[in-house]
């Protein structure tokens, strides 16, 4: 079905792409992009210089430019669109699905987004403004406006005629269901494509349709949408407002995609990449600045934790061997705590724990913390004793690790629940908060226990 490739397999297609852009050779650019699969396109575009990226979108027709935009990630796309004239950007965006338009406009500065909307055709502009007002990760933010709706007094023949007339437009639609509305655009029913196969063609839609179909409120959250599509095996669901007016359609793929993006944000946030994705094709200073914004907060937290050590310098001078164990105790406790954070975040996202169930997490994690604390404490005590030959040193560091593991595991389990109740993002805040507290406590337990038995060490 694919034609023979015009170009040989290229190791670095972006080099050829850059040459073709320099030569303004639109025909070969399109041929080359056609030959690349979406991730190869995304890779090639990301490796172009900033000026070449802008030229590429400017050279291509809005339709072809929109295909490029569809192949690359939203963060990349926003970077490219920012560099375009609003008029060009508007022409390209108009070729995309309505939820994709809203996603991209939502990630732009408000001024940039408005400048682009002003250049769009009135109908599309109106729709974009409407879609932008819905929050991301709600039914409104995920729905599309590309669906088929008919009036309940239309006949099967009317629908089939409409299909023939608009065949070209509808091929871009995910046509699974026909939605049936009354004269006020209020949702009355739904029809599956195959329901049109058998009936007499003069039948009116209200005679065929499934009445009061499942519908989703425009403000439904991502978790509600997940539940909805897990419960009902549908190819799409109509989105309505308080007045039962049909506003759009949410596809299960959009819900899956939003869930996956949420997982990615969690992973990135946990690793200290905040404020959107970073790609190595971005300018050095912007990458550096974004990473530093998180690291500079971290340095403050570290000072707070390390100041505990400063309070016990006399003990540390007297028993310098303790310095070896300080980072071990704090690091081990941090790891134990992060495990509990991960389990809590996972249970929260699956709905297996509710934010208010603090007592359940407390009892489950405290018992596990005691068990693992004793195990790890005994292990570290033995290591310290064998290494330094002092049983009291073993007791001090092992005891400190045991107690601090209980603190870290319990706190790690609870922090995501508490942050969720405070409407803060557990992925971003849990780890730094936990690490600071467990570092402080770890240093404090080792050094204060040591101070108690200083003459035996």
Q: How far is CA 258 from CA 48, 104, 137, 272, in A?
A: 28, 14, 7, 21
Nearest distance from C-beta of residue 368 to its own copies, angstroms = 5
Closer CB to its own copies, residue 45 or residue 102? Answer: 45
* Torsion sign across C-alpha atoms 440, 441, 443, 447: positive
Nearest distance from C-beta of residue 281 to its own copies, angstroms = 8
CB atoms under 10 Å from CB of 359, counted, come to: 8
Closer CB to its own copies, residue 110 or residue 230? Answer: 230
The interaxial angle of helices 38-47 and 13-22, nearest 10 deg, is 60
Identify which of 146, 297, 140, 328 has the alpha carbon closest to the alpha carbon of residue 217.
140
Nearest distance from C-beta of residue 268 to its own copies, angstroms = 6
Q: What is the DSSP letter of 138?
A: B
Nearest distance from C-beta of residue 13 to its own copies, angstroms = 12
Sort residue 237 into left (φ over 0), alpha (ψ -120 to 50) or beta: beta
Closer CB to its own copies, residue 112 or residue 277? Answer: 277
Assigned token pair, 305: 């934790």
Closer CB to its own copies, residue 125 or residue 374? Answer: 374
Nearest distance from C-beta of residue 172 to its own copies, angstroms = 8
Closer CB to its own copies, residue 113 or residue 143? Answer: 143
Nearest distance from C-beta of residue 202 to its own copies, angstroms = 16
Closer CB to its own copies, residue 117 or residue 434? Answer: 434
CB atoms under 10 Å from CB of 184, counted, come to: 8
Dihedral angle of Cα 14, 18, 19, 22, to the nearest 10 degrees: 170
Dihedral angle of Cα 260, 224, 177, 186, to the nearest 10 degrees: -140
Nearest distance from C-beta of residue 118 to its own copies, angstroms = 30
* Torsion sign across C-alpha atoms 221, 145, 184, 121: positive
Q: Residues with Cβ < 8 Å from 21, sequence gap 6 or more?
A: 29, 48, 52, 55, 56, 59
Closer CB to its own copies, residue 331 or residue 425? Answer: 331
* Cα–Cα distance for residue pair 308/312, rounded to 1 Å: 7
Closer CB to its own copies, residue 117 or residue 329? Answer: 329
Q: What is the DSSP letter of 193?
A: G
CB 195 within 8 A of CB 255: no
Nearest distance from C-beta of residue 302 to its own copies, angstroms = 5
């Amino acid at each position: 079905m694919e034609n023979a490739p015009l170009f040989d397999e290229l190791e670095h297609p972006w080099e050829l792409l850059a040459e073709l852009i320099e030569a303004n050779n639109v025909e070969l650019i399109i041929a080359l992009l056609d030959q690349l699969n979406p991730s190869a396109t995304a890779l090639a575009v990301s490796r172009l210089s900033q000026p070449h990226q802008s030229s590429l979108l400017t050279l291509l027709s809005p339709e072809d430019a929109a295909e490029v935009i569809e192949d690359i990630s939203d963060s990349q796309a926003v970077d490219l669109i920012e560099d375009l004239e609003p008029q060009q950007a508007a022409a390209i965006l108009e070729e995309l699905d309505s939820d994709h338009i809203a996603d991209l406009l939502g990630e732009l500065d408000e001024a940039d987004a408005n400048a682009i909307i002003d250049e769009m055709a009135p109908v599309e502009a109106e729709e974009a403004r409407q879609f932008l007002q819905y929050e991301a990760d709600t039914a409104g933010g995920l729905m599309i406006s590309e669906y088929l709706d008919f009036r309940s007094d239309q006949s099967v023949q009317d629908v089939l005629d409409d299909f023939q007339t608009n065949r070209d437009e509808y091929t871009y639609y995910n046509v699974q269901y026909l939605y049936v509305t009354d004269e006020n655009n209020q949702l009355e029913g739904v029809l599956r494509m195959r329901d049109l196969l058998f009936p007499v063609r003069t039948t009116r839609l209200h005679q065929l349709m499934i009445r009061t179909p499942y519908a989703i409120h425009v403000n439904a959250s991502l978790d509600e949408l997940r539940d909805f599509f897990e419960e009902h095996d549908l190819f799409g669901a109509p989105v309505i407002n308080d007045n039962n007016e049909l506003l759009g359609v949410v596809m299960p793929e959009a819900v899956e995609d939003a869930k996956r993006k949420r997982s990615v944000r969690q992973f990135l946030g946990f690793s200290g990449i905040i404020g959107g994705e970073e790609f190595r094709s971005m300018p050095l200073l912007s990458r550096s600045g974004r990473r530093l914004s998180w690291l500079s907060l971290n340095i403050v937290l570290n000072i707070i934790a390390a100041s505990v050590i400063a309070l016990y310098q006399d003990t540390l001078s007297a028993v310098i061997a303790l310095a070896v164990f300080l980072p071990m105790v704090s690091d081990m406790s941090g790891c134990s705590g992060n495990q509990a954070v991960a389990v809590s975040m996972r249970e929260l996202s699956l709905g297996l724990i509710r934010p208010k169930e603090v007592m359940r997490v407390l009892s489950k994690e405290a018992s596990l913390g005691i068990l693992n604390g004793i195990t790890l404490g005994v292990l570290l005590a033995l290591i310290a004793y064998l290494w330094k030959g002092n049983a009291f040193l073993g007791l001090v560091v092992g005891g400190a690790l045991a107690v601090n593991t209980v603190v870290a595991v319990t706190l790690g389990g609870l922090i995501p629940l508490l942050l969720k109740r405070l409407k803060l993002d557990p992925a971003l805040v849990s780890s730094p908060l936990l690490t600071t507290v467990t570092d402080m406590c770890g240093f404090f337990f080792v050094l204060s226990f040591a101070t108690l038995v200083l003459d035996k060490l």
